[in-house]
Amino acid sequence: MYENLHAPMPAYKEIKLYTGNGNRELAQKIADILHLELSGLKIEKFANGEIYCRFEESVRGDEVFIIQSITGSNVNDILMELLIAADAAKRASAASVTAVIPHYAYARQDRKAAPREPITARLVANLLETSGVDRVITLDLHQGQIQGFFDIPVTHLTALDLFGQYYNDLAEEKGWNTDEMVVVSPDAGRAKAAKKLADMIGCNLAIAAKGRPKHNVSEVLAVIGDIKDKICIVNDDMIDTAGTLCGSVKELKKQGAREIYVCATHGIFSGPAIERLQEAPIEECCVTDAIPCAVANQPGSKIKTISVADELAEAINQVYTNQPTSTIFGGGAEL
């Protein structure tokens, strides 16, 4: 029975998908595209609120992908679910652990903007690596340089191509001419990404110059570019309370914008965000399903969604089969 002991071992690496409570609907879409089952991950809480995770099957020697958007009113619990699940997978001898993070939380704190501030984007990166994550697949980081906070591979995807296709299709449907359209960057920091979206659509770019007296509050000082009688498409990476966005939209309307459309990869929609968007002078707000939104696509709602499931599923497949992710639209994008 020991005669083949030194023969080459067969390849047993199997792909397995898991998810926590961050965005189960998106995780199921990804699993369906890949023709895989979402495997069993038991998540419970102790009486004092501590989180417990356990894989209900063996993951020894498997390639484990944990799909978890770090978002929601219980964002810290969601982050802990991911960290604990990664630790459990490593301790169960998984061959590798890939964290698929459609929304990377704490990314807004990516530098010290004032004395005695933390850099939580780096802190979360350190926590993920310490927990046993071997690589990360994520979508539209708040700042592209956050990739440099990791010492493990990071596949950074973007939804810009999806938005470009969405507005090209909308322009064809409504009979818009690209000369009457303009992409508006909400601030100078988003100008590079907004320029890429403008190039995809084939229209001009405008930039809203603003000041930010405190968190979640801003004031538009000027708009650089021609927006008078134009169909404006305001693009950002996230919408949180929508206070900043709605202030910019009102200023665009004052300066003569004809119609205003808003798009963002991550619709966080904290507090009064939905109500503000419903009352704002916009035609619609288009976000991805990287973060779940119960009111999206409902009758009377200005919130529309497009899915990033195909893009994330392809990235998972390329990573698992050791193929380049640069072939994915937006793969390795420099935003």
User: For residue 230, which amino acid is it?
Assistant: K
Q: Give the C-alpha separation, 268 to 70, whole Å.
A: 11
Q: 239 with 285: CB under 8 angstroms?
A: yes
Active-site pick, 16, 29, 210, 304: 210
Helix, strand, coil shares, percent, the chain, to 5: 35, 25, 40
Q: Cα dist. 277→15, 248, 285, 289, 302 in Å? A: 41, 12, 8, 17, 7
Q: Where are the alpha helices (DSSP H) in the chain?
A: 24-33, 75-91, 120-131, 160-174, 191-201, 243-254, 273-279, 309-320
Task: Please state, in angstroms and rounded to a whole number, the distance separating the CA atoms of residues 328 and 120.
Answer: 29
Q: Is 254 annotated in the active site?
A: no
Number of neighbours of residue 332 by Cβ within 10 angstroms: 15
214, β-bridge pairs = 217
Residues 6+ positions from 229 with CB-CB distance below 8 Å? 180, 256, 257, 258
Active site residues: 210
